[in-house]
Amino acid sequence: MITSVQAPALKLGIKSVVLDIIAIAFIYLMPILSHLLSFPMYFIEPMRIMVILAMIHTHRNNAYILALTLPLFSFVVAMHPVFIKSLLIAVELAFMVAVFQVLYKKIHVFAAIFVSIWASKLFYYALKFVAIATLMPGESMVGIALYIQLITSIIMSLYVFYIFGYKRQKQTK
């Protein structure tokens, strides 16, 4: 049975392809879900969730692919966020993947994911500050309240901690 599709310099497993399809569908349906639930779903940072799922359950190359394409896909499909913010988010998410890759073998996995999330947020806000000063005057600096971002970061970090603990426990059996 074939379990992967070969592409130049990239091996995409079935898990990666399935996760990518789910991520694209989730982002595509985000405006509909927000409307149906009467809740701004972007508060839960769906793109970050999908990239973290890719980091944990597939390969880092897949995480980079999603990090760089989901914000642009969202812009093309829903015109939200605006193009410049889509680029900033893509850079932020790719930065998060890179920081996590550096940290996760050096420090506790909970700390590694939490630090990578917040390091990427600080990087994003620095880039956004420059963008507001030059390209997006009148744009607000913080779109989602920081306490909500902190709560979602803790939840995502706990999930990663749980999955890494489960994988480690499964490997020792």
Q: Output the pLDDT for position 155.
A: 97
Indicate the pTM of the whole model. Answer: 0.86
Helix (H, G, I), strand (E, B) or coil at 157: helix
Separation CA 127–CA 51 (nearest Å):
20
Domain total in the chain: 1
Q: HSE of 53 in the Cβ direction (CA atoms, 13 Å)?
A: 18
Query: 98: domain CATH number?
Result: 1.10.1760
Which residues form the domain of 68? 4-172
pLDDT per residue over 98-153, tens digit each?
A: 999 999 989 999 999 999 999 999 999 999 999 999 998 888 898 889 999 999 99
